[in-house]
Amino acid sequence: MRVGKLLVAILVASRLVNFTLGQATSFCNPKPLKCTGTTTTLDRSSNPFDGIDVEWGAKPVAVDWDGDGDLDLLVGHQDGRIQFFERIADASLVELTGSSNPFDGIFDGIYAAPFAVDWDGDGDVDLLIGNQ
């Protein structure tokens, strides 16, 4: 097994760092690893990524895109499209598709690599997309 990109995100307000690990296979299903206080114990029982399959070469970024105080998930794909998963009240991620996806119709070359930042300093999150 080859290890893909590592996305580091603080998913809960604690002193423990949680992270996701994507694997480079025919499909990528990130697996969250939650620190439980020891270096040998990993809790995989509450995987918010269950049921989310993205293609090989996916570029995920965690950001509070909708401004509701929780982290959503943007995924750039090798075909240039951006997938959007909104975190809802029960902490699960729901994919928004078609016109519900704020990035529907955006294709930026190949291997889209989204990056979210307040680029212009106006208080909202802007999207920068790198590509090959």
76 with 113: CB under 8 angstroms? Answer: yes
60-66 contacts, C-beta under 8 A, 24 or more apart: 60/5, 60/7, 60/20, 60/22, 60/30, 61/7, 61/114, 61/115, 61/116, 62/7, 62/9, 62/11, 63/116, 63/125, 64/125, 65/102, 65/116, 65/125
- pLDDT tens per residue, range 83-106: 999 998 888 889 999 999 999 998
- pLDDT tens per residue, range 5-30: 433 433 333 344 444 444 444 344 55
- pLDDT tens per residue, range 31-55: 555 556 555 445 556 677 777 778 7
How many whole angstroms separate alpha carbon 121 and alpha carbon 8? 24
pLDDT for the residue 132:
80
pLDDT for the residue 114:
92
81 with 64: CB under 8 angstroms? Answer: no
Q: Tell me the pTM.
A: 0.67
pLDDT: which is higher, 109 or 105: 105
